Structure 1
């Protein structure tokens, strides 16, 4: 696999600067989730958490003289190629998740049962047969999907990579660590849900590197994936 090293020119700084940024960013990423406003519901709280984290990421990017465009939020050269890449990413994610579901009961270690289906009603409401509710919450789901790509693949991966001096080894570390953090953030335990999310994060991270560090194919694939997941609940 070709792990291209980014050409973005960051504001000169030592690794300590990126370490400080990551400490601030990851601390806010997890601590903000301790703030929950019951009246607005799970999805609105999720957007509040993500936009707060996005604000911190944008602040640290401004300090390092980096833009979102440089991290991959730029216009794709070819819409058709972008769509094709999105389909490849989506297929890879689905195949990997199916493979994990097949082998998870035969793994040499125990995994906490997935309780996501039990918590779905408390998070999204009773979606069974309720297409009106589905349509009303999907805009928030899609926005959250896009924000996760900006934050996890766009900011977090690049900052971990720069912390280790932008070598191929650093890129591998960045891909793996962001996937671990992505998985843990979705469950806070070693469960089927956290592993599934980690697999998604790993594939998205590899795709980000492999396909030119453009975030749009990942955003499209992530939005489609979450749309399929939500339709399955209706």
Structure 2
């Protein structure tokens, strides 16, 4: 009897997530509020240790991913709904995905540079993003390799699932016209992506907002080919991390 009641509750919750806009909104709030709470509770405990701070941010992202995938499970949807496929790739599929990822990379970099240009004109000075939290990478090859491994999973993959696949799909599923829903989803997802990088300063938030918008447009135009975005994001993360590793002490 207890198992039946649990199954009925899960089934009912999944049905409401599919049809009730308030449940949809609550899911989005839950995903991001959970990360906010984890960061607010744990960051003060890390002191001045940048590695521990980064670990807390990664933990918050992992919790968000778990909640996102739980939402898929409750709805009875597969990862394919987000554009994630894990089947066999032909050589042709691999080449096509790599070429698309390079195109997405170029478009995302243009968005990032546009953020720099806009902020430089607003502030009147060539401000740069505050990336001091990555200072522990300078000259430390072992830490660079370890950080890249984590970044590829939590940032390159995780952020594309959360900020592109999850947000764009869920916001566009509200009871709006298809065009309005997609436009609203692109704008909101890119703004939230920019705000999530608040530690990078105003310049960093502007850069990541426009980069997020560029990635979101690519996600929609490429019909949810999420792996191309994940690879493009990985290229950018690699460049950033290597830059920090090579930075002068």
TM-score bracket, shorter-length normalisation = 0.7 to 0.9
Conserved 8 A contact 1:43-1:141: no
Deviations 1:125-146 (A, max 9, x none): 1x23322221122101111221
Instruction: Give the number of the structure whose alpha-carbon radius of gyration is greater.
Output: 2
Q: Distance in 2 between matches of 1:165 and 1:98?
A: 32
1:28 aligned counterpart, secondary structure: helix
2:169 aligned counterpart, secondary structure: helix
Q: Give the 4+ runs in structure 1 shifted more than 3 A.
A: none
Match of 1:116 in 2: 130
2:79 aligned counterpart, secondary structure: coil
TM-score (norm 2): 0.78
Equivalent pairs, count: 220
Q: Distance in 2 between matches of 1:22 and 1:29?
A: 11
Q: 1:166 Cα deviation (Å)?
A: 6.0
- Report whether the alignment pairs 1:217 with 2:228: yes
Match of 1:23 in 2: 29
Range that drifts further, 160-169 or 220-229: 160-169
Conserved 8 A contact 2:115-2:209: no
- Report whether the alignment pairs 1:86 with 2:101: yes
- Structure 1 regions of 5+ residues with no counterpart? 1-9
Match of 2:147 in 1: 137
1:116 aligned counterpart, secondary structure: coil
Q: 1:66 Cα deviation (Å)?
A: 1.9
- Structure 2 regions of 5+ residues with no counterpart? 1-13
- Note closer, same or farther for the CA distance 1:190–1:134 as it changes in structure 2 (3 Å cut): closer
Deviations 1:93-143 (A, max 9, x none): 222323433443223x689x555233332xxx1x23322221122101111
Match of 1:7 in 2: none
Greater share of helix residues, 1 or 2?
2
TM-score (norm 1): 0.83
Q: 1:163 Cα deviation (Å)?
A: 1.8
Match of 1:4 in 2: none
